[in-house]
Amino acid sequence: MDHKIWDGMAIDYDNSVENNQDPIIVNYLKKEIDILTNLCKKVYDSNKNSSIIDMGAGTGRVVFALDERLQESATKFYGVEVSEPMLEYAKQKNQNHEGISKIEFLKYDLTDPNLSDYFNKDETNIVMCLYNTLGVIPSEKRQQFIDNMRNIAGEKGLTILTAFNGDEFDFIAPKLYNPMMPMIKQIDENSFDVKNKVFQNGLGFRSQWFTKEELKSMLQSNVDPIPIEVTTNDTTHTFGNVFVDRYIV
């Protein structure tokens, strides 16, 4: 998907995601951040330099939330984003953010084969991509993107991917995309392609969903994902999953 589409969505991104008051979105985001916080605490070393790098950071939702949760002055946060308007919103929010860590937003192409050269691989790097961002990366570039994440994380760090649950696309997709109408603008009669696990509309927004096994294969991981469970109508469903590239204690 052309990053220019994200440029046009930047103004409505926070209202559709971070500040969305729909109970499903609220609970999903809280569970996602809870899981990420626990994973980061298990990996980073408070006595050494550590970096948390959010690929496709949008307006900074995750780096700000993790800074508030972790409260580690030795940890640096980087939000990497290709959309200039998204970066501008993130930088504006950073000016008013009262955290204790260094937070920096960088403009890079996430699929650049040389992306890992821009980061210090001697540090403990926790590299993450969240909220189904992987699904909007063109299919021919997805593996390069995942390889970039793993190269930056190296042996000491950790690669984290969160994605919507493609195994239940037909049930979950309408419940996530309908509340995000301010950002996606339009849902068409054929927007929900159940066979191919794709949401798309006539304005050019397209997001691929993945099964658990598909993502484990792309990440070259044998680790079962951590479910992001949300309750709706008194029934709990796995709306998304958090994947890692190695076992951690």
Question: So what's the pLDDT on residue 50?
Answer: 87
* Neighbouring-strand partners of residue 161: 129, 243
Residue 198 lies in a domain: no
Residue 100 lies in a domain: yes
Question: So what's the pLDDT on residue 47?
Answer: 59
Question: So what's the pLDDT on residue 72?
Answer: 79
Residue 60 lies in a domain: yes
How many structural domains does the chain have? 1
Could you list the pLDDT tens digit for every one of the 249 residues in the chain?
456 677 888 889 999 999 999 999 999 999 999 999 999 999 987 657 889 999 999 999 999 999 999 987 778 999 999 999 999 999 999 999 988 889 999 999 999 999 999 999 888 999 999 999 999 999 999 999 999 999 999 988 999 999 999 999 999 999 999 999 999 999 999 999 999 999 999 999 999 999 999 999 999 999 999 999 999 999 999 999 999 999 987
Q: Report CA-CA distances (Å) from 123 to 50, 152, 178.
A: 6, 10, 41
Residue 177 lies in a domain: no
Residue 144 lies in a domain: yes
Most distant CA pair in the chain, distance? 54
User: pLDDT tens-digit profile of 55-73?
Assistant: 999 999 999 999 999 987 7
Mind giving me the DSSP string for 23-90?
A: HHHHHHHHHHHHHHHHHHHHH--TTS-EEEEEET-TTSHHHHHHHHHH--TTEEEEEEES-HHHHHHH
Q: Which residue, 178, 174, 175, is CA-closest to 193?
A: 174
Residue 199 lies in a domain: no
Cα–Cα distance between 248 and 150 in angstroms, integer? Answer: 15
Residue 165 lies in a domain: yes
Residue 227 lies in a domain: yes
Cα–Cα distance between 50 and 40 in angstroms, integer? Answer: 10
Domain with residue 13: its CATH number is 3.40.50.150
> Residue 63 sits in which domain range?
3-172+209-244
